[in-house]
Amino acid sequence: MAEWLADRVGAHGSVTAIDLDTALLADLGRRQNVTVVEGDLSTMEFPASRFDLVHSRSVLMHLEDPGALVDRLVTSLRPGGWVLFEEADGAPAQRAESAGGLPVPYVRVMVPLAANWTWARHLADRLASLGLVDVDDEVREDLLVGATPAAAFWRQTLERIRPLVTNRSRMDDLGREPVDADSYDAMLSLLDDPSFEVPFAARHRVTGRRPTG
């Protein structure tokens, strides 16, 4: 997204890309109109009235206090500037679990992950309470289908977090049950199966504009 924005603002504009780990952004940082900043959004301060657009995708939902960050980001907008926050909501997976009929590995591995994604449901109200106008919450629900790029993304993600979610002592600290190895392996296999298709997540695309007055 930062690269796309840099192409559009051209030589007379600028883009700031922020990440906790900027190792993969070296090429982006060589562009004349891009500044790459390595830092923790949870503690970072932003200059007031600096940006015409603030964007994030599936970042805020993972922070301990995303609302506090949103408050700081809104003050960094210039008058007339926009925010676009794209965040996931696990409601489709939760509804599907209640209806029944889902594969057991999916219920044991994926549904508990999706159940944590509730923050985006209230994001539009928060932006309005901060004084933004033209606030809109566009919600799109997507199926999780095996043998697709999305499934490959989730396979990689599950492989990375496996040491955490299968470890009893770590999961006890989080107040959750660990996932057994057989269920985990079965879920990975489902992600490679093109016949696997289940409701999973909704994506909220929440926009708002700082008034010019």
Q: Is the pLDDT of residue 176 over 90?
A: no
Q: Is the pLDDT of residue 73 over 80?
A: yes
Domain boundaries in the chain? 40-209
Q: Is the pLDDT of residue 213 over 80?
A: no
Mean pLDDT value of segment 61-81: 95
The whole-model pTM stands at 0.88
Q: Is the pLDDT of residue 116 over 80?
A: yes
Question: Domain 40-209 belongs to what architecture?
Answer: 3-Layer(aba) Sandwich (3.40)
Q: Are strands 77-89 and 197-209 parallel, antiparallel or unpaired?
A: antiparallel
Name, in order, each residue with C-beta under 8 angstroms of 208's C-beta and a sequence gap of 6 or more: 82, 83, 124, 127, 128, 132, 133, 134, 135, 136
